[in-house]
Structure 1
Amino acid sequence: MLGIQPLLAGEGPRFGSIVQVPHPLVVEAYGRAGFDFVILDQEHGPLSTDRLGDLVRAAEASGVVPLVRVPENRPSLIGAALDQGARGVVVPGIRGVEDARAAVEAARYPPEGQRGYCSAVRSAGILPDAQAATRANREVCVFLLIETLGAVDAVDDIAQLPGADVLFVGPGDLSAQMGVPGQLSHPDVERAVEKVAERALARGKTLAVHVRDVDTAARYVRRGFRVVSFGIDLQILTLHLREVGAALRGRVWPTA
């Protein structure tokens, strides 16, 4: 399986998608399709913590890196996702550098952070392991969602934080905050994205983004984004079903 460090290192971009349907078969489908990672979505999808373990196992068995978007920036939620074996957490609600620092600390054990330790969890191997905390601090990745105006304003400080591994730009939320919801190519949104990209790359941070079409993905990769999330499972399925349905009605049994 592609580990979290190879996901962020090496040549070329990495492609994944958001999973909201809480079933292992959906995760396996992404592995069979050759995706690099999945984002198990607890913020907007009906994914409970007790289902995460099954979805993480499906990702591991299918060769995709399991990330979890937690519902909010709380230590207990970040710790629970990592305890289930997530290789990284995608953290929303970043409004400034203090929020970013809190997320980083919640994802790492002392002395680097404040994550609570328990050996009897999946990520630690169930049995006592003196190296589990050190290994987790080295391998776990923190993706900070830059999707508020406060986060954009504070991006210089956020990009300097040790342990803030990936800055994940959210053009959709930024457009809403700027009063132009859904206008992802609006000049104000573009300027904010460019500011984040410039500051992140200057500090050696990895950039991530979520897109809805291939052309936009290519444009972001050219701008230096290396982690690209494409679509949401249910949206992808619905769009494909719509195309198939239209083709069946239009070509197989056309109406007058």
Structure 2
Amino acid sequence: MKNLENRFKTRLKAGEQQIGIWNSLQGNATAEVLATCGFDWMLIDTEHSAMDVIDVLPALQSAAAYPDCAAVVRPASNDPVLIKRLLDLGAQTLLIPYVQSVAEAEAAVSAMSYPPKGIRGVAGLTRASRFGTIDNYATEAEKELCLLVQVETRASLDALEHIASVDGVDGVFIGPADLAASLGHPGNPNHPEVVAAIEGAFARLKKIGVPAGILTLNRDFARRCIEIGTTFTAVGVDLGLLIDAANDLSKEFAQN
């Protein structure tokens, strides 16, 4: 059996726009429903949610039936053990949070790669290798793995070009909430200084030819980000959409 193509990575390299949705609610049903909604990618989040590594497996299995929606997984930290486990579960694209330096980006690359390039532990019977049926998985796996690193502090912005240029980094995601806090505006990602820093980061990434991404719930700003250069753009969070819809429905009937 041939290794599975990572369509998210293929489209990322081609510069195609991919619109995403955030999956923060546990349960395979949530992931499956989101995968049917027409998004190009879905972020399965284990950093800022109650989901853990074990919850990622049913989410990946549910999403697999809908290949037009690529599954991206965010581990809780830039931890080689977490990265190894998620890769073994079959995640092909990882978004690594809080990468602040070249050394941390290089550590993520190493965790994604088998020796001699990296330190990923080798196991034969994993979902990633289709339980040992993918031909030459150990030597072919990396071609279809995609590494996105999250830049979300003043320090990481200062090192942006260096982080983005690390061999093995496929794209850079700007994290508005943490960046706002780091710049002295906690809870206010729409502050002009934060917006200017984000837009400046996109321009810098575009200049060196590295794909840029973001999550923003501000739809006007999402369109602005797409206009100036993001190519993997998340525009909603499942929990937020549920809250908004439930509040709207409650208010509608409370008026009657």
Alignment deviations for residues 104-125 of structure 1 (CA, whole Å, 9 cap, x no partner) = 1111223332211111111012
Normalising by structure 2, we get a TM-score of 0.92
Distance 2:20 2:41 in 1: 5
Aligned partner of 1:72 in structure 2 is: 77
Structure 2 residue 107 is matched with structure 1 residue 102: yes
Matched residues, number: 251
Change (3 A) 1:165 1:12: closer
**SS of equivalent to 2:128:** helix
**SS of equivalent to 1:98:** helix
- List 4+ stretches of structure 1 deviating above 6 A: none
Q: Which of 222, 231, 252 is residue 226 of structure 1 equivalent to?
A: 231
Cα root mean square deviation, aligned: 1.8
Identity %: 29
**SS of equivalent to 1:56:** helix
* Letter paired with 2:244: L
Aligned partner of 2:25 in structure 1 is: 21
Aligned partner of 2:178 in structure 1 is: 173
Is the Cα–Cα contact under 8 Å of residues 21 and 41 in structure 2 kept in the other structure? yes
Aligned partner of 2:65 in structure 1 is: 61
Aligned partner of 2:161 in structure 1 is: 156
What's the offset of the Cα at 1:177?
0.9
Alignment deviations for residues 54-112 of structure 1 (CA, whole Å, 9 cap, x no partner) = 11011111232111110011100111111111121111121211111111111122333
Is the Cα–Cα contact under 8 Å of residues 112 and 120 in structure 2 kept in the other structure? yes
Aligned partner of 2:143 in structure 1 is: 138
Aligned partner of 2:48 in structure 1 is: 44
* Letter paired with 1:14: Q
Identify unmatched segments of 5+ residues in structure 2. Answer: none
**6-15 or 22-31, which moves further after superposition?**
6-15
What's the offset of the Cα at 1:33?
1.1
Is the Cα–Cα contact under 8 Å of residues 206 and 226 in structure 1 kept in the other structure? yes
